Amino acid sequence: MIHVEWPWLLLALPLPLLVRWLFPAHLAAQQAALKVPFLDDFMDEPTHVVTQSRRWPLWLAALAWIALILASTRPQWLGDPIEQAVSGRDLMLAVDLSGSMQEQDFIIKQEPVDRLTATKQVASEFIARRTGDRLGLILFGTQAYLQTPLTFDRKTVTTLLNESAIGLAGDNTAIGDAIGLAVKRLKSQQADSRVLILLTDGANTAGEVTPIKAAELAAEHNLKIYTIGIGADEMIVRSFFGSRKVNPSADLDEKTLTAIAEKTGGRYFRARNTDELNQIYQLLDQLEPVEKAKQFFRPRTELYYWPLAVSLLLAAVIGLVRFKESV
């Protein structure tokens, strides 16, 4: 069926008549008229021929105006309703962008990559599998901010995640603020569907709310938090004096991350490499869905360009006629 998005614009149809009524053209013609006592000598053509030849551009202009108004009302073709698969989960991803995420202790295709790059690759695949879920994205460092509100548009969430950069939100880690922001965004949603997946590689070093206090607040609002500690346990560092093993995840506060998950009924996961990180996201795929009412989507096809093209074509014809008359 055809649907008009802005039908109120049809009120503009009589606008040219209103302008003609307020500013009649014959007044200007009377002021500029040349009075000739022998006017009949100039009438080589019958009067009705001259009148008709001048009227047809006016009719074209009227049609062009009608077509322009029809285009401005934004006509659309609505397709048949399509049922959307909705599992009922509202998942918020909170990703750490602090300076420590640039540590290159992950391997992808035999090449060392930083922690954020590995997170982006695995999380993107996780997002792509979230058919029927609403997803949101929080990025945090020294500050926490909402990058994407809850949406079914998985492509946009993936794009904005991939566009994030280390240090974008500051070099420190505000875990408590990230949880608090998630509580604020999810508290109005259905109680059984609130889930936060928080990924970090360090300890809370910034923010106004402590992680434990934020976790207690999350538990009060039935927000389940799954925490992921990312980073290898050991890596080889080569220097002028030789090679040595170091723990790049020495600053990871696993105790706090575990406490956050336990207080909210979630789980703590440890991701030391890309395979473990991918396995964690596969486990998160098994979260129990919550049934919701069916939602339907009607595909829309814009039709405004057809009357717009007709209007432009008629305007071009009128302009061409005027040009020929003036030559």
Chain mean position to CA 266:
29
Are residue 199 and residue 215 in the same domain, yes or no?
yes
Domain of 147?
A: 84-284
In terms of domains, do 262 and 304 share one? no
Both 196 and 234 in one domain: the answer is yes
Q: At residue 317, what is the residue type?
A: V
| 74 lies in the same domain as 89 | no
Rg (CA), the chain: 34
The number of folded domains in the chain is 2
Alpha-carbon distance 57 to 314, whole Å? 9
DSSP state of 243: E
- Residue at 11 is within a domain: yes
One domain for residues 242 and 132: yes
**The pLDDT value given to residue 49:** 47
Strands of the 134-140 sheet, one edge to the other = 144-151, 134-140, 90-96, 194-200, 224-230, 268-271
Provide the H-helix boundaries in the chain: 15-22, 25-31, 47-72, 115-128, 154-162, 175-186, 211-220, 254-264, 274-284, 305-326
In a domain, 36, yes or no: no
Do 267 and 320 lie in one domain? The reply is no
Tens-digit pLDDT profile for residues 149-198? 999 888 999 999 999 998 888 888 899 999 999 999 888 776 567 889 99
- Note whether 180 and 235 are same-domain residues: yes
Average confidence (pLDDT) over 272-295: 70
Is pTM, for the whole model, over 0.85? no
In a domain, 39, yes or no: no
Same domain, 306 and 238: no
pLDDT digits (tens, 9 = 90+) for 117-132: 988 888 888 888 887 7
CA–CA gap between residue 56 and residue 262 (Å, rounded):
80
Which among 206, 159, 176 has a CA at the least distance from the CA of 94? 176
Average pLDDT of the chain is 80
- Cα–Cα distance for residue pair 216/206, rounded to 1 Å: 18
Residues 66 and 149 reside in one and the same domain = no
The whole-angstrom separation of Cα 257 and Cα 214 is 12
CATH number, domain of 257, equals 3.40.50.410
Decide if 291 is inside a domain: no
> Are 16 and 134 in the same domain?
no
Element (H, E) at 3: strand 2-4
